[in-house]
Amino acid sequence: MQASEFRRAVAVATSTASALGLAADDAVVLNNSNKLSLRLLPGDVLARVAPVAQQVAQFEIELAQRLGGSPVAALDPRVPARAYERDGFVVTFWSYYEPGSPASPEEYADALRRLHEGMRRLDIPAPHFTERVEQARRLLADRERTPELADADRALLGEVLDNQGRVNGPEQLLHGEPHPGNLLTTDNGPLFIDFETCCRGPVEFDLAHAPEDMSQHYPGVDHELLRRCRLLVLAMITTWRWDRDDQLPDGRRLAAQWLGEIRTVLTGRD
């Protein structure tokens, strides 16, 4: 969030928590990107704050409730499970977990497998993963939103999105971005958070967001499909880093690095 939004978002989170009876004298920033994550003390609750126009908070709450028994972070049981809207922001309250030991590749893979099992049983509407590919294509075509992207790099990313975006395989409900940043390591084992990018597609699309050594421990992987999904995801996240409004720290450096990785993959295939 921008500085002007950040201050208001923190104020909304703390005042909403206080009104619900949660002690919120101090706010520790855990993550600040398109959504703000705060640890509110001394009540020790995790508040997630997003602008109204950019949130799918109620969907995340319902999904977390229906995935009971799966490795997902829990809502804070001390307040009603709902999205609280105020001053242009939406706040949700979650249990705070003290960090545990980093998950091994085997633990990571097992957690994602169990998450997928839980999601497979749900019949809820969610966009197809190709809609996210199309969002990346539209951003790539919008030179006003990506003014710093060189023509050669724009053409390269467009080629990958077009050629790799047509992947086939058994489909189900997916997390959408189960990368390490969305995996909490806790004393209760790995727990997934942040389901705003939930979509439908092959499990290999989810696996493409995770470290390669993890996928070696996930059962039944189509490795050729996973290879294509990894290249597709790399092109998508590279495109998003060139958005003039992107707020990821060090985003441009990462974008340049990932462009180099894409070229290396394509060159090695020739």
Q: What is the pLDDT along the chain (270 residues), one digit of tens a residue?
A: 777 789 999 999 999 999 999 999 999 999 888 789 999 999 999 999 999 886 689 999 999 999 989 999 999 999 999 999 999 999 999 999 999 889 999 999 999 999 999 999 999 999 999 999 999 999 999 999 999 999 999 999 999 999 887 777 799 999 999 999 999 999 889 999 999 999 999 999 999 999 999 999 999 999 999 999 999 999 999 999 999 988 888 899 999 999 999 999 998 764
Q: Given this model, what pLDDT does residue 173 score?
A: 97
Same domain as 134, residue 49: no
CA distance 140 to 161: 10
Same domain as 123, residue 77: no
CA distance 115 to 94: 18
- Single residue among 95, 123, 153 that ends a domain in this structure: 95
CB atoms within 10 A of CB 165: 18
**What is the token pair recorded at 166?**
């047509």
How many domains does one find in the chain?
2
Domain of 60, CATH number, reads 3.30.200.20
Walk across the sheet containing 45-51 and list its strands: 24-32, 36-42, 45-51, 89-95, 84-86
Q: Given this model, what pLDDT does residue 168 score?
A: 77
In sign, the C-alpha dihedral spanning 238, 244, 245, 250 is positive
Q: Given this model, what pLDDT does residue 268 score?
A: 77
Same domain as 162, residue 51: no
Q: Given this model, what pLDDT does residue 179 score?
A: 95
Question: What's the predicted TM-score (pTM) here?
Answer: 0.92
Q: Given this model, what pLDDT does residue 244 score?
A: 93
Identify the DSSP state of 104: P
Longest dimension (CA), the chain: 62
Same domain as 134, residue 239: yes
Sequence-distant (≥ 6) Cβ neighbours of residue 70 within 8 angstroms = 114, 115, 117, 118, 119
Q: Given this model, what pLDDT does residue 254 score?
A: 95
Q: Given this model, what pLDDT does residue 32 score?
A: 87
Coil, strand or helix at 80: coil
Q: Given this model, what pLDDT does residue 269 score?
A: 62
What stretches of 107-233 adopt beta strand conformation (E)? 172-174, 183-186, 189-192, 199-201
Same domain as 230, residue 112: yes
Q: Given this model, what pLDDT does residue 54 score?
A: 65
**What is the token pair recorded at 32?**
């600040």
Same domain as 112, residue 82: no
Query: What residue numbers bound the domain in which 77 lies?
Result: 3-95
Same domain as 123, residue 45: no
CB atoms within 10 A of CB 3: 6
Residue 100 lies in a domain: no
Same domain as 161, residue 49: no
